[in-house]
Structure 1
Amino acid sequence: MSLTASLDASSVTAVPGEETALPLQVLNSGRTVEEYRFEVVGACAAWSTVEPAVLSLYPGDSGTVSLVLRPPRDAAVPAGESTFGIRVVPAGGQDDTVVPEGRVTVLPFHETTAELVPRGSTGARSGRHQFAVDNRGNVPVTVRLGAQPGTEQARVAFAVPELRIEPGHAKFARLRIRPAKRMWRGTPVTHAFQVFAAPQPAEGEEPPAPVLVDGSYQQEPILPRWLPRALITAAVVLIALVGIWYLLLRPAVKSAAREAVTPEAVRSAAAADRSDVPVEGGPGGAGSSGGAVAGVGPDGGASGPTPSPSPSATGSGDAEGSTGAVAAAGDPTSAQVRVQDGVGGGSNTGTALEVPAGHVFQLTDIVVQNPQGDAGTVVVTAGEDTRVLSLGLENFRDSDYHFVTPILVPAGGRVTMTIDCRRVGRPVGAPAPSRCTSSMFLGGTMRAQAADD
């Protein structure tokens, strides 16, 4: 072998952020002039170089190059010892390569930063923060957490007393600041405080300076400022609503109740009361046996049976009155109809009710519905040519009408609904229909037509 290379020292110490040089002796023991190149291998190769990078030697001559170590002051380069090698490669022959080896020790360094998130807090009972501590050194560090309140009016407490942080990492510690006294009302008060992170030194090291961070907490009153105004406003609104009720709504309710007491309603109630009383001579009534009632004589003895009145004994006036009361009461009746119509096809009519022969229908309630939101016209008629309602479909979805004085529909008369569609509506969240659709529900009383009607 015509090449000899050796380091002046087998180990070297490197300080992060500084430059350290280690000499390397190279001897050309061959018979020709040779040029040598140098390559650093190992963990320190990323931050090490050989100067000069190329060395030429005559036969029998020796030269010196330097291994320059520049470890960055960064957490990516951990503290401790590692091995390295310098590959010396002759330009004329790769087989004569030699690799002298050594050890490098990177010294530890400490660098700790901290931040308070958020820097200022607001609250009525307490303020919450997070204390972020970042270890930018190359060795693990344990930091002790503490706080210094600016005054005696607030207390600061950490969730944990200390943190252990690996190199290049950060950890968070929750803290809460509480006021010494609660404030129900008044102007907000600001409490200043200071928190610190004190790194704990290794054995034989001097303690690093603690990292100090300032913060503030604004104590708000428990009762907000707008509460009195809100209570006054609520009281005014409540008084206004009560006034509207007594001045407008209550008289309207009483008037509607009076109007609902119609002669027909009175006769219907009287007929219902009479129907609940057992008829004399009927089942369960007095004298149910044979249609006669046993009389009692003047002497207290039983007399002969008293015959029931014959039909001729009852006056015609009583019969007409009874018949009239029953006819006036009538039977509650309701009906409905659904009509569809296309655009441009003319109007379409549907019949909800046809009055049978010998009866009269008293129309009192109508409910018209336009569920699709169509546009057009709707006409409700009763009897031959009585137009009850004429409405625009686009003006309503549901509309109800109640008549204090019933609309009389004679025998053979019809209650109909006619719609003329101009535009088909579209319900929300449903497919578009092809035709206008409306429906009508009506209510009233169907009574037998009296002789004098």
Structure 2
Amino acid sequence: MSVTASLDAASVTAEPGGRTDVPLQILNSGSTVEEYRFEVIGACAAWATVEPPALSLYPGATGTVSLRLSLPRDPSVPAGETPFGVRVTPTSDPGAAVVPEGTVSVAPFTEVTSELVPRGSSGAYRGRHQLAVDNRGNAPVTVRLTGTTGTERATVELATAELLIPSGRADFAKLSVRPAGRIWRGTPVTHTFQAFVTPVVAEGREAPEPLTLDGSYEQQAILPRWLPRALILAAAVLIALVGLWYALLRPAVKSAAREAITPEVVASAVAKSPSASGGSGNGVDGTGDPDGGGAGNEGGAAGPSPSPSTGSGTGTGGGGAGAGAANAPGTPTSARVEVKDAVGGAPSTGSAYKVPGGSVFALTDIVVQNPQGDAGTLTVLSGDAPILRLALENFRDSDYHFVTPILVASGEEVTMTVDCRQVGRPVKAPTPASCSQSLLVGGTLRPTIEAAD
């Protein structure tokens, strides 16, 4: 072996952030001039060097190099003992390398940082924060947590009083600020507070100063300021919805109800009406008003008598005969017609019902329908006499019922005339080519007096 190497100190203490030099003695025990190169091995190789990195010695000569330990002040170098070695390699004979070994005791250091997250909070019941504590030292550290508001209007509460934080790690503790009383309405109140983070160190070591963190909590009213405005806005929306109902939705519901009135329903209602039964009409069985049909019949029967009552009886009998024809028993009858008319040009007319000979039609019910919502004029006539004259834009479905029937004489017709000004458009359907209206009439078909006789 051509080299002998030894450390002046096999164990050395180093402070993080500082520099420590350890002498290394080299002896050339060979017979030729030799160059030696040095390499630090072990965990401390990242922060240790040898100065100079190479050394040439004559045979039997001794030289000294320095092992320089430059420890960084961060958690990457943990406190405690760390072994190391220095490989000394002859250039001419690498296989004859020697490795003197030693240990370095890394001194612990404490460095703690902290942050209040968030620094300001708000709420009606409490303020919520977190204390973030970061251990940037090279040894585990215990920290004590305290807090104060400086007034009696609020208190600081911590979820834990101490934290044990490993080296190079961070931990969190919940902090809340609770007010002494509640604010129902009014201006918010701001409570300032301080949190203290105090590292705990072993005896004999210098204790670092506690960390002071300032924060604030804004106590808000339980009933927010926007509540009155929200109530006013809600009332306005409610009024608007009610107006929308009466302006749009309610007429649509009524229109749907009217459209449900079909000719079959009207015919059934006519058949069940008292006027169709004929059981209570005057002059039907001669037992009505004694001054009406019944008395007239008696007068007619006594017509040939020369008594002074003959003329009166005959005249009354004539009136009774007319009333009897109007109220005579009959057959419930209904009829329907649909009339279409284009915009412009002459009106269109359709016949709903023509009274047969020897009969009188007692008209009691009329239903007119405007399903498209057209605009124009609709006229219902009995012969040449108008019964109804309606503006189409004023209705979709409309029905009329007469306590006193409208008498349509034998041979006359019930007609409907439509004069279209504008074609409507049904909901969710294309616009039709022409106006379209329908008429349903109902009543009782009764025989005339002559036919009855």
Query: Normalising to structure 1: TM-score of the pair?
Result: 0.62
Contact 1:365 1:400 in 2 (8 A): no
Instruction: For 2:59 and 2:65, locate their aligned partners in 1 and report how far apart those are by CA, in whole Å.
Output: 18
Partner of 1:49: 49
Query: Are the structure 2 counterparts of residues 225 and 356 from structure 1 closer, same or farther at C-alpha, using a change threshold of 3 Å?
Result: closer
Query: Are the structure 2 counterparts of residues 450 and 102 from structure 1 closer, same or farther at C-alpha, using a change threshold of 3 Å?
Result: same
Query: Are the structure 2 counterparts of residues 40 and 230 from structure 1 closer, same or farther at C-alpha, using a change threshold of 3 Å?
Result: same
Give structure 2 stretches of 5+ with no counterpart.
281-322, 339-349, 356-364, 379-389, 401-412, 447-453
RMSD: 5.3
Q: Which amino acid aligns with 1:132?
A: A
Deviates more, 1:188-197 or 1:223-232: 223-232
Deviations 1:123-174 (A, max 9, x none): 2221111110000011111211110212111101012222111111111111
Q: Select 2:333's aligned residue among 327, 338, 343.
A: 327
Tell whether 2:141 aligns with 1:141.
Answer: yes
Instruction: For 1:113 and 1:17, locate their aligned partners in 2 and report how far apart those are by CA, in whole Å.
Output: 18
Partner of 2:450: none
> How far is the alpha carbon of 1:242 from its aligned partner?
12
Query: Are the structure 2 counterparts of residues 32 and 239 from structure 1 closer, same or farther at C-alpha, using a change threshold of 3 Å?
Result: closer
Instruction: For 1:276 and 1:361, locate their aligned partners in 2 and report how far apart those are by CA, in whole Å.
Output: 15
Query: Are the structure 2 counterparts of residues 100 and 240 from structure 1 closer, same or farther at C-alpha, using a change threshold of 3 Å?
Result: closer
Partner of 2:296: none
Instruction: For 2:371 and 2:43, locate their aligned partners in 1 and report how far apart those are by CA, in whole Å.
Output: 94
> How far is the alpha carbon of 1:277 from its aligned partner?
8.8
> How far is the alpha carbon of 1:226 from its aligned partner?
3.7
Contact 2:366 2:399 in 1 (8 A): no
Query: Are the structure 2 counterparts of residues 193 and 446 from structure 1 closer, same or farther at C-alpha, using a change threshold of 3 Å?
Result: same
Deviations 1:266-293 (A, max 9, x none): 998564354999999xxxxxxxxxxxxx
Instruction: For 2:151 and 2:398, locate their aligned partners in 1 and report how far apart those are by CA, in whole Å.
Output: 79
Instruction: For 1:113 and 1:409, locate their aligned partners in 2 and report how far apart those are by CA, in whole Å.
Output: 102
Query: Are the structure 2 counterparts of residues 192 and 400 from structure 1 closer, same or farther at C-alpha, using a change threshold of 3 Å?
Result: farther
Partner of 1:99: 99
Q: Which amino acid aligns with 1:208?
A: P
Contact 1:3 1:29 in 2 (8 A): yes
> How far is the alpha carbon of 1:222 from its aligned partner?
2.4
Partner of 2:36: 36
1:3-402 mapped onto 2 (5 Å cutoff): 3-231=3-231, 237=236, 271-274=271-274, 316-319=325-328, 322-323=330-331, 326-328=332-334, 363-366=368-371, 402=396
Q: Which amino acid aligns with 2:25?
A: Q
Partner of 1:371: none
Instruction: For 2:51 and 2:84, locate their aligned partners in 1 and report how far apart those are by CA, in whole Å.
Output: 16
> How far is the alpha carbon of 1:223 from its aligned partner?
2.7
> How far is the alpha carbon of 1:362 from its aligned partner?
5.4
The total of aligned residue pairs comes to: 348
Tell whether 2:398 aligns with 1:404.
Answer: yes
Instruction: For 2:166 and 2:136, locate their aligned partners in 1 and report how far apart those are by CA, in whole Å.
Output: 9
Contact 1:358 1:449 in 2 (8 A): no
> How far is the alpha carbon of 1:187 from its aligned partner?
2.5
Tell me the SS of whatever aligns to 1:59: coil
Query: Are the structure 2 counterparts of residues 108 and 403 from structure 1 closer, same or farther at C-alpha, using a change threshold of 3 Å?
Result: same
Instruction: For 1:55 and 1:76, locate their aligned partners in 2 and report how far apart those are by CA, in whole Å.
Output: 31
Instruction: For 2:16 and 2:278, locate their aligned partners in 1 and report how far apart those are by CA, in whole Å.
Output: 116
Tell me the SS of whatever aligns to 2:333: helix
Q: Identity rate of aligned residues, in percent?
A: 49
Q: Which amino acid aligns with 2:55?
A: L
Higher Cα Rg, which structure: 2
Instruction: For 1:37 and 1:315, locate their aligned partners in 2 and report how far apart those are by CA, in whole Å.
Output: 146
Query: Are the structure 2 counterparts of residues 185 and 5 from structure 1 closer, same or farther at C-alpha, using a change threshold of 3 Å?
Result: same
Partner of 2:382: none
Contact 2:267 2:333 in 1 (8 A): no
Tell me the SS of whatever aligns to 1:327: strand
Contact 1:146 1:158 in 2 (8 A): yes
Query: Are the structure 2 counterparts of residues 183 and 10 from structure 1 closer, same or farther at C-alpha, using a change threshold of 3 Å?
Result: same
Q: Which amino acid aligns with 1:30?
A: G
Instruction: For 1:205 and 1:136, locate their aligned partners in 2 and report how far apart those are by CA, in whole Å.
Output: 17
Instruction: For 2:68 and 2:375, locate their aligned partners in 1 and report how far apart those are by CA, in whole Å.
Output: 104
> How far is the alpha carbon of 1:179 from its aligned partner?
1.2
Contact 2:367 2:399 in 1 (8 A): no
Query: Are the structure 2 counterparts of residues 379 and 222 from structure 1 closer, same or farther at C-alpha, using a change threshold of 3 Å?
Result: closer
Query: Are the structure 2 counterparts of residues 92 and 279 from structure 1 closer, same or farther at C-alpha, using a change threshold of 3 Å?
Result: farther
Contact 1:362 1:409 in 2 (8 A): no
Tell me the SS of whatever aligns to 2:396: strand
Q: Which amino acid aligns with 1:327?
A: T
Query: Are the structure 2 counterparts of residues 234 and 21 from structure 1 closer, same or farther at C-alpha, using a change threshold of 3 Å?
Result: same
Contact 1:367 1:401 in 2 (8 A): no
Contact 1:47 1:69 in 2 (8 A): yes
Contact 2:135 2:169 in 1 (8 A): yes
Partner of 2:297: none
Tell whether 2:2 aligns with 1:2.
Answer: yes
Tell me the SS of whatever aligns to 1:95: helix
Instruction: For 1:92 and 1:242, locate their aligned partners in 2 and report how far apart those are by CA, in whole Å.
Output: 102
Query: Are the structure 2 counterparts of residues 65 and 225 from structure 1 closer, same or farther at C-alpha, using a change threshold of 3 Å?
Result: same
Instruction: For 2:206 and 2:147, locate their aligned partners in 1 and report how far apart those are by CA, in whole Å.
Output: 22
